[in-house]
Amino acid sequence: MSKKTNERPIFPFTSIVGQEEIFKKLSLILNVIDPKIGGVMIMGDRGTGKSTIVRALVDLLPPIEVIENDLYNSDPYDKELMSDEALEKIKNNEKISIIQIKTPMVDLPLGATEDRVCGTIDIEKAISEGKKAFEPGLLAQANRGILYVDEVNLLDDHLVDVLLDSAASGWNTVEREGISICHPAKFILIGSGNPEEGELRPQLLDRFGMHAQIKTLKEPNLRVKIVQQRELFERNPKEFNLKYQDEQNKLIEKIVTARKNLKNITIKYEILEKISQICSELNVDGLRGDMVTSRAAKALAAFENRLEVTPKDIFTVISLCLRHRLRKDPLQSIDSGVQVQTKFKQVFNYN
């Protein structure tokens, strides 16, 4: 059984054009294959389609099975991804109904409060009735899906910190007046913003797995094509989506296969050593850069249906994984990727 929803048509992911889009699309696809990469921050000029491509991503994700009427999208087969309520039902041998839903995608509004994001505890009810009266927030809705924050660079730093903590741990904890509630919140965090309005602090930016930077297209023929694509979509969304259905299905199949094969991908020690050498020589703080680069390269190999990571895989992903980790001064601009690629070519002796 599945939920039926009346949804507005979404611009198909495979119809989005432009050379600059390749890296933006790749960063999103790799995070879908391996959410442990840690999400992606997409920075770009106004009107470069950041929101369009993120919202198109959800159509590439297979549906998920959840426990019916559960507010946390609890996985009926994995206790680590179940809410306390679901675990209680299973413990009491209550019958649970399983349904299939579309992978959730939650938009976090810019003016959202911490209570709206994390959820609230009704202290009065908890004291008077002795129950943990909890109203789940956006993190509960996003569990096992995607949480998208547009203009994340304008969000309060504390709130960004909360999102990053939940994305990294897979859990959300709310504490009020000595009462503590914890629930699964495993999601892919995607942020976007306009660099003219400022970047995140380096400490927060470092916690995003990947960083894609998109500039306005200059080629007139591509600009015309994008305008025409949009007009065709708006004129008849259903017909436009049908035109790309085969391409969408092929991409979905590749992603599903890559997810299954990810555990079988190997990466040679010498390559791992060279990744760490690049991070060290670029003065990248911590080990996140090393880990994210190897994870992203494995996801790319899986996506291309190979079993071993090659230097070319590293070259493809390393700028996306490291460029935002080079900035030490909040006023400094983010590297375009040239510095990372130059260092890669030196270390790997790659032409």
Question: Which positions are catalytic?
Answer: 288
Dist CA 155 CA 279 (whole Å): 29
DSSP states along 306-334:
-SB--HHHHHHHHHHHHGGGS--STTSPP
Q: Is 50 exposed, middle or buried (0-12, 13-18, 19+ CB in 10 A)?
A: buried
- Give the residue ranges of DSSP H helices in the chain: 19-33, 50-57, 84-91, 114-118, 123-129, 138-141, 157-169, 202-205, 220-235, 237-243, 245-261, 269-281, 288-303, 311-322, 338-348
Q: Which residue from 328, 264, 269, 274 is spatially nearest to 302, judged by alpha carbons?
A: 264
Distance from first CA to last CA of the chain, Å, rounded? 53
Contact 68, 97 (CB under 8 A): yes
> Cα separation of 333 and 258, whole Å?
35
Full DSSP string of 190-201: EEEE-GGG-PPP
**Residue 10, CA distances (Å) to 14, 76, 229, 254 in order:** 12, 29, 13, 20
Neighbours of 288 (CB within 10 A): 18
For 137, left (φ over 0), alpha (ψ -120 to 50), or beta? beta
Beta partners for residue 181, in sequence order: 174
Torsion sign (Cα): 150, 290, 300, 102:
negative
